[in-house]
Amino acid sequence: MVRPELMDFDKALELFEPVMGFEVHVELNTKTKMFSSAPNEFGSEPNTNVTPTCLGLPGSLPVVNEQAIRYSISLGLALGCSIAESSRFARKNYFYPDTPKNYQISQYDEPIAFEGSVEVELSDGSITTVPIERAHMEEDAGKLTHVGGSTGRIQGAEYSLVDYNRAGVPLVEIVTKPIYGAEHASPELARAYVVAIRDIVVSLGISDARMERGNLRCDANVSLRPRRTPGEDPAPLGTRTETKNVNSLRSVERAVRYEIQRQAAILAAGGRITQETRHWHEDTGRTSAGRPKSDADDYRYFPEPDLLPVVPSPELIEELRAALPEAPAMRRRRLKAEWGFTDLEFQDIANAGLLAEVAETVAAGASPAAARKWWTGEIARLANAAETDAASLVSPPDVAALAALVEKGVLTDRLARQVLEGVVAGEGTPQQVVDSRGLAVVSDDGALITAIDAALASQPDVLEKIRDGKVQAAGAVIGAVMKTLRGQADAARVRELVLERASGDA
Amino acid sequence: MSVAESIIRLSAAELADRIATGDVSSVEVTQAHLDRIAAVDEAVHAFLHVAPDAALAAAAEIDRRRAAGEVLGPLAGVPIAVKDVLVTKDMPSTSGSKILEGWIPPYDATVVRRVREAGLIPLGKTNMDEFAMGSSTEHSAYGPTHNPWALDRIPGGSGGGSAAAVASYEAPIALGSDTGGSIRQPAHVTGTVGVKPTYGAVSRYGAIALASSLDQIGPVTRTVLDAGLLQDVIAGHDKHDSTSLRDVWPSMADAVRRADVSGLRIGIVTQLDGEGFQAGVLARFHEALALLERNGAEIVEISAPSFEYAIAAYYLILPAEASSNLAKFDSVRFGLRVNPADGGTVEQVMAATREAGFGPEVKRRIILGTYALSAGYYDAYYGSAQKVRTLVQRDFDAAFDRVDVLASPTAPTTAFKLGEKLEDPMAMYLNDIATIPANLAGIPGISLPAGLADEDGLPVGIQFLAPAREDARLYNIGGALERLLEEQWGGPLLGRAPDLTELVAALAEEGVR
Amino acid sequence: MSGISAEQVAHLARLARIDLSQSEIASLTIELDQIVDSVAKVIEVATPEVPATSHPIPLENVFREDVVGETLTVEQALSGAPERDGSRFKVSAILGEEQ
C-alpha cells in the first residue's frame, strides 16, 4: 500500500474548511436485549445469550423491551431533543453473516427523538453547541472473528466464526447535523463531543459506555470545502468519508485530523474524494478505504410489520424529564462557579476526569482547594504508579476525612501522605490508619520542649545565634526535634517554642 | 365398514366424545388415522412427515391421564395434522422448501404448544407450496398434493396438504395458515371447512413467515363445529407475538351450537359475483344464499370498488415482506448450505445456496419484492399498495355498517388440473381474488362446502367475511348454513366424494399396466 | 410495458443474494414485466390524501418487561448449523469490510 500523502494540518486549514458529522452508537445496559428476553451480558460463552429471535430462526418474532424505550426517551431528552409523538421501527435490509435475519430492525423515517443539541467544552474552556439531528433505536449485530491469514483481520482470513450473543443488544444511534466552524479545533471537538455523549449516558446510567468494549462507538464523517473570501457565498459541501472502527477517544481525535490532512492533500492536487466508508487503524494511525457507497446501499427500508408504533404518553415523557440528572455541561459551569477555581485549575480536574470525585469530596466536607489538591496531586500520582484509575484507590469521604485531619492539625501534609498510603493499602479509614500507625502530630508542648532541650544540649550555640539575629539557626534544632519525634511534630510550633526559649533566656 | 373405517369418518367433536366416554381410546383413534395415512397418502401426498411413534406415545399418555381421572380439554386425544409452515421441536419443519430440508427446530410454535397442551395428537406435517407461495401446492419442493376428489387435480394452496389430509380422512382436523386464502381456497376445492381468524387472534410465533402483516394461522376441518373447537384451543394472546390481540374471545364452538341466521343481514359483494367465476360455482353460491334467505336472513347487495385493486396491492405487499422475511435463509445458522465448486466467499455461498434452495415461484416473488422496495420504486409500488389497503378497509367498514357479514364464492373455479396454470403466474394469482381482501384488512373469513359444480362434479365453497374481532359471526352463519345444506343433502358433502381406496387401487392397476 | 431489463433483474438478484442463471434472468425479466404491469394499477387510486396502512389491526405500545427469560442451550442454538467450530457458527471467508 502506498502511503497516502498528507498535507500539513495548518496548511490544510488555510485552504479548506472542515465540516464534520458524527454517528455515535450507544449500547444500552438493559437486562435483556432490544427484541428478545435473552440476557444483555458481555463476556459470556459464545451463543449462550440467545433465543430463537436472536438467531433469526424461522418463525421467531421480536417484542420491544420497555426499558429500552424509557432509556431512549431519557437520552433523547438529555440531548435536548423533541420526543416523537409516534415513532416506529423499520427493517434495514442487507446481507451480512453477523446480522441474523439479514435485516436490522432500526428506525428510519420516524425516529424516537429528533432536533436537539449538546454543549461541548474544549480544553480552553470554550463551549461549542453541536446540533443533533436525531436519535433512533436499533439492534446490534453479532460478533465475527476472522480466522487464518496473518493479521486476524478480514482480509486474507480463511474463514470466520459467528457469535450471536451481542445480536439484538439495544442501541441508540445519535446522529449530528453537519458541524461547521470548528476549524483548527475540529479534531479536539470530535473527541470532546464523544466525551460529552459519554458523560451524558453515564450520568443517566443507561450505558456502561466503555469504548474498548464497544459500548460506545463513533463513526466520524469528514468533508472539506474550499475557503472563500468574506462576502462570497460559502462553497458547497465537499464529498464526505465516513470513518468507522474508531474505538477510543484518542482515535476519534486522530482519525479526524488524519482525514482532514489526507483529503486536503488529494483536493489540493486536483483529485476527488471518493464517497466511501474508511477504516481507522489504531496501530498505524491511518484510515484505509472500505466499501464505496453504491447500489449495495439500497437498504430497502420498510415499516417493520412484526412491530407496532411507539406512542409515549406525555405523562411518561414528563416523568422521565423530571428524573433527568443535571446536564453535564450545566453541572461543570455550576461547579466551577461554586468552587471559585480559575479556568486552569478547573480544567486540571476536568481533563483528569476527576470532577465527580472532587465534587463528592467537597460534598463530604472538604474545601474545594483541598479536594483538588489531593485528587490531582498525591492520589493521581499513586494511581499513575499503580496504572489504575484514581477513583478506584480511595473514596471521596476518606479524602475529605484526610483533609479534615490536616485542617485540625492532627496531621502534617507529610503524615497525611503516609496515612493516604495506609488507606489505599486497605488499612481502614484515615482515622483508623492514624491510630494503628500512631501517626498523629505530637501536640503536647511538654514533649516538644523535652525534645528541644535535648537538641539544645548538643548545640548550645544556637540560642546565642538567634539572639544575634540569626533566626535561621533555629532550623538545626527543628530538624533534630523532627528526627527525634519521627516527623510527627508540627514544625511551626517547634520553631515558635525555640524562639520563645531564645527570648526567654535573654 | 370396519371399526377403523368408521372411526376415521367421525368428526373431531364426535371422536372427542367417544374418547371421553371411553368408547375408544386415543391410541385406537390415532392408530386408525395412521393406518389410513399408510393406505392412501402415497396417492394423495398430503404429508411431508408422519410421526407414528411420537403420535402413539402422546395418545397413550392422554389415555393414561384420562384413566387417572384427570379432566382434559374438549379435544384431548384427537389427532391433528400440522401444516409444515409451523415449527415443531420433534419433527422436521421445511415450509415446503429444499432450503430447510431436514431442519428440526429447537422450539415449538405457540399454536403447536397450545394444541399439545390441549391434548391433541400431532400426526405429522402437511405439504404446502414452498413458503406458502401458491394456490395449488404444486410449488412444494417435495412434489404436489393430489385432490382426494380427483387425484389429477390440485388440492388448492398453499395449504393443500392440510385440506387434503382432512378431506381424505387421514386426519380429522388440521392447522393451516392463510396469507391470501391458503386456508379458505383449499377448503373450497376439497369440500372441507377452513377459517382464517381475525389478524392477531392466533399467535404467529413459530409460523415461518411469508408476509407478516397478512399471515394468520387457523383451523382446517370437515365441520364448522370442529373449526370452532380448534379455534377455541389456538386463539388467545401470546406475549411472543407483538401483533397478538389481548381480546378475551367468546367460544366459537358455542356460536356453532347456537347457530341461527334469522334476522341476519348478509351482503353480496357485487365485485365478487359474476365475471370470471365458473357457472357451477355461482349456481351453488346463489342457491346457498337463497336457502339462507328462506330461513330468515336478509340479502343485501354491496359494492366494494377498491377490491378491484386488492390483488395488485397484495402482490406488491406480499413479495415485499416475503423478500425480507426470506433473507434469513442464508446457510449460516440453519438449513441448506451449497458451496460453489471453487470455494467462494460467504456472499457467494449465500447466493449459491439461495439459488439451489429456492424454487422458481419463491425466486419470482423475492425478486418482485426486492424491486417493489428498492430505491426509487418504494413510493410508487409498496407505498401505493399500503394505501390501497386503507381503501379496502374503508370498503369493508362501509359494508359492515349495512350488513353483519359479507358473502362470496371462495374462489372463481373448482379444482383445476395439476400443471394447468403452473406456467402462468398471473392466472394462478387470480385464484385468490375473493380471499385476498380479508387478509389486507385483517378481518376473519370462513369457507364451507356449498355443493358440487354441475359441469365437473367438483366441490364448491362459499365464503363469509365478518368485521375484525367478530369471528363468532362466521361460526354462527357457517354452522347454520352447514346444517341447512346437510339436511338437503342427507349428509356431509364429503360423503359424496369418490372412495379413495378404489381410486388408489385403480391407480395401482394403471401403474401395473 | 414497465420496461424491466435483464440488467435490472440481475441487479435485483444480487441485492437478494440469489445466483440466478442467465436463463432464469431471461424468463424472470419477461414474467416480472408482466406482473409489474398488472400490479402497477395501485398507483391509480393511491392518491396523496389516502393514508398508508401497515398493520391491519392498529395497536401501539406493545412492550415486554425487561426481565430475562428462557434461552437456548449452545447445543440447541447450533443444532441446525451447516458448519460449526466449538460454540460458534462457521462461515466462509468474508470479502469486504470489517464491521
pLDDT tens-digit map of B257-310: 999 999 999 999 999 998 889 999 999 999 999 999 999 999 999 999 999 999
Give kind and range of the element (H or E) at residue C60: none
* Surface of B (93-122) touching C: CB under 8 A: 103-107
Question: Domain range spanning residue C10?
Answer: 6-45
Q: Is residue C97 part of a domain?
A: no
CA angle B21, B24, B28 (to 5 degrees): 150
Q: Are the beta carbons of B82 and B112 closer than 8 angstroms?
A: yes
Number of domains in chain C: 1
Q: What is the pLDDT of residue C24?
A: 97
Q: What is the pLDDT of residue A506?
A: 42
Asked if the C-beta of A160 comes within 8 angstroms of chain B's C-beta atoms, the answer is yes
Query: For the segment B148-206, what is each residue's pLDDT rounded down to a tens digit?
Result: 999 999 999 999 999 999 999 999 999 999 999 999 999 999 999 999 999 999 999 99
Residue C30 belongs to domain with CATH number: 1.10.20
Average pLDDT over residues B446-474: 98
Give kind and range of the element (H or E) at residue B313: helix B310-325
Q: Is residue C85 part of a domain?
A: no
Contacts of C20 in chain B (CB under 8 A): 355, 363
Tell which phi-psi region holds residue B459, choosing left (phi > 0), alpha (psi between -120 and 50) or beta: beta
Measured CA to CA, the distance from residue A26 to residue A208 in angstroms comes to 9
Q: Is residue C84 part of a domain?
A: no
Q: What is the pLDDT of residue A4?
A: 61
pLDDT category at A294 given cuts 50, 70, 90 is low
Measured CA to CA, the distance from residue A361 to residue A420 in angstroms comes to 15
Q: Which residues lie below 8 Å from residue A149, measured CB to CB, with a gap of 6+?
A: A155, A156, A157, A158
Q: What residue type is assigned to position B272 of the chain?
A: L
Q: Report the greatest alpha carbon distance in chain C.
A: 56
**Closest chain C C-alpha to A38 CA, distance in angstroms:** 6
How many cross-chain Cβ pairs, B to C, lie less than 8 Å apart? 185
Contacts of C4 in chain B (CB under 8 A): 371
Measured CA to CA, the distance from residue B15 to residue B4 in angstroms comes to 12
Contacts of B374 in chain A (CB under 8 A): 298, 300
Inter-chain contact A145–C91, Cβ cutoff 8 Å?
Answer: no
Tell which phi-psi region holds residue A174, choosing left (phi > 0), alpha (psi between -120 and 50) or beta: beta
Percent of chain A with pLDDT over 70: 96
Q: Is residue C28 part of a domain?
A: yes
- Choice between A446 and B44, residue whose per-residue pLDDT is larger: B44
**Closest chain A C-alpha to B206 CA, distance in angstroms:** 4
Phi–psi pair at A225, nearest 5 degrees = -135, 145
**Closest chain B C-alpha to C99 CA, distance in angstroms:** 15
How many cross-chain Cβ pairs, A to C, lie less than 8 Å apart? 145
Q: How many CB atoms lie within 10 A of CB B221?
A: 31
- Annotated catalytic residue B408: no
Average pLDDT over residues B228-233: 98
Inter-chain contact B109–A59, Cβ cutoff 8 Å?
Answer: yes
Measured CA to CA, the distance from residue A447 to residue A449 in angstroms comes to 6
pLDDT for A487 beyond 90: no
- Annotated catalytic residue B182: yes
- Annotated catalytic residue B324: no
Measured CA to CA, the distance from residue B178 to residue B194 in angstroms comes to 9
> pTM higher than 0.90 for the full model?
no
**Closest chain A C-alpha to B477 CA, distance in angstroms:** 32
pLDDT category at C98 given cuts 50, 70, 90 is very low
Inter-chain contact C55–B368, Cβ cutoff 8 Å?
Answer: no
Asked if the C-beta of A95 comes within 8 angstroms of chain B's C-beta atoms, the answer is yes
Average pLDDT over residues B485-496: 97
Strand A143-147 with A302-303, pairing = unpaired
Q: Are the beta carbons of B179 and B217 closer than 8 angstroms?
A: no
Using CA coordinates, name the residue in chain C closest to A244. Answer: C99
Q: Report the greatest alpha carbon distance in chain B.
A: 72
Contacts of C54 in chain B (CB under 8 A): 213, 386
* Surface of A (292-331) touching C: CB under 8 A: 295-296, 298, 300, 303, 305, 307-312
Q: Which residues lie below 8 Å from residue A299, measured CB to CB, with a gap of 6+?
A: A92, A93, A94
Asked if the C-beta of C36 comes within 8 angstroms of chain B's C-beta atoms, the answer is yes
Query: For the segment B319-377, what is each residue's pLDDT rounded down to a tens digit?
Result: 999 999 999 999 999 999 999 987 789 999 999 999 999 999 999 999 999 999 998 89
Least confident of A50-59, A233-242, A447-456, B46-55: A447-456
Measured CA to CA, the distance from residue A376 to residue A352 in angstroms comes to 8
Inter-chain contact B363–C20, Cβ cutoff 8 Å?
Answer: yes
Q: Which H, E and C letters describe B390-410, residue by residue?
A: HHHHHHHHHHHHHCCEEEEEC
CA angle A455, A458, A461 (to 5 degrees): 95
Closest C-alpha among B115, B114, B117, B90 to residue B103: B90
Average pLDDT over residues B49-70: 97
Substitution target from C19, C53, C59, C89 for chain A, most A beta carbons within 10 A: C89
Give kind and range of the element (H or E) at residue B176: strand B173-177
Q: Are the beta carbons of B173 and B181 closer than 8 angstroms?
A: no
pLDDT for C79 beyond 90: yes
Total residues found in chain A within this entry? 506
Inter-chain contact C16–B442, Cβ cutoff 8 Å?
Answer: no
Q: What is the pLDDT of residue A505?
A: 54
Q: What is the pLDDT of residue A154?
A: 66
Strand B459-465 with B405-409, pairing = antiparallel
Substitution target from B240, B350, B362 for chain A, most A beta carbons within 10 A: B240
How many CA atoms within 13 Å lie on the side-chain side of B84? 38
Is CATH 1.10.10 the right assignment for the domain spanning A445-503? yes
Ranges of CATH 1.10.10 domains, chain A: 445-503
Asked if the C-beta of C62 comes within 8 angstroms of chain A's C-beta atoms, the answer is yes
pLDDT for B513 beyond 60: no
Measured CA to CA, the distance from residue A307 to residue A305 in angstroms comes to 6
Contacts of B373 in chain A (CB under 8 A): 93, 300-302
pLDDT category at C97 given cuts 50, 70, 90 is very low
Using CA coordinates, name the residue in chain C closest to B353. Answer: C18
Of B105, B350, B386, the CB nearest to C17: B350
Q: How many CB atoms lie within 10 A of CB B290?
A: 12
pLDDT for A348 beyond 90: no
Least confident of A356-360, A501-505, B422-426: A501-505
Asked if the C-beta of B368 comes within 8 angstroms of chain C's C-beta atoms, the answer is yes
Asked if the C-beta of C82 comes within 8 angstroms of chain A's C-beta atoms, the answer is no
Asked if the C-beta of B329 comes within 8 angstroms of chain C's C-beta atoms, the answer is no
Q: Which H, E and C letters describe A237-252, residue by residue?
A: CCCCEEEEEECCHHHH
Q: Is residue C93 part of a domain?
A: no
The mean pLDDT of chain B is: 96
Q: What is the pLDDT of residue C3?
A: 82
Inter-chain contact B327–A302, Cβ cutoff 8 Å?
Answer: no
DSSP-derived secondary structure letter, A363 = H
Average pLDDT over residues B404-421: 96
Asked if the C-beta of A151 comes within 8 angstroms of chain C's C-beta atoms, the answer is no
Q: What is the pLDDT of residue A188?
A: 95
Asked if the C-beta of B212 comes within 8 angstroms of chain C's C-beta atoms, the answer is no
pLDDT for A150 beyond 80: no
Catalytic residue among B11, B25, B26, B83: B83
pLDDT for C40 beyond 60: yes
Q: What is the pLDDT of residue C99?
A: 39
Catalytic residue among B158, B168, B244, B331: B158
Inter-chain contact B242–A298, Cβ cutoff 8 Å?
Answer: no
Q: What is the pLDDT of residue A117?
A: 97
Asked if the C-beta of C97 comes within 8 angstroms of chain A's C-beta atoms, the answer is yes
Least confident of A162-166, A217-221, A247-251, B204-208: A247-251
Measured CA to CA, the distance from residue A471 to residue B276 in angstroms comes to 122
Asked whether the CA dihedral B16, B21, B24, B26 is positive or negative, the reply is positive
Using CA coordinates, name the residue in chain A closest to B375. Answer: A298
Substitution target from B271, B371, B381, B436 for chain C, most C beta carbons within 10 A: B371
Count Cβ atoms within 10 A of the Cβ of residue B495 and give its class: 0-12 exposed, 13-18 middle, 19 or more buried: exposed
Q: What is the pLDDT of residue A197?
A: 95
Q: What is the pLDDT of residue A255?
A: 96
Q: What is the pLDDT of residue A155?
A: 67
Asked if the C-beta of A46 comes within 8 angstroms of chain B's C-beta atoms, the answer is no
Using CA coordinates, name the residue in chain C closest to B371. Answer: C12
Average pLDDT over residues B245-255: 98
Q: Are the beta carbons of B412 and B330 closer than 8 angstroms?
A: no
pLDDT for C1 beyond 70: no
pLDDT category at B509 given cuts 50, 70, 90 is confident
Joined together, the cell numbers standing for residue A174 give: 445519535
Closest C-alpha among B172, B140, B497 to residue B160: B140
pLDDT for B405 beyond 90: yes
Asked whether the CA dihedral B65, B69, B70, B72 is positive or negative, the reply is positive
pLDDT category at B412 given cuts 50, 70, 90 is very high
Asked if the C-beta of B38 comes within 8 angstroms of chain C's C-beta atoms, the answer is no
pLDDT for B435 beyond 60: yes
**Closest chain C C-alpha to B50 CA, distance in angstroms:** 21
Cis peptide before A503 (omega within 30 of 0): no
Least confident of A326-330, A362-366, A378-382: A326-330
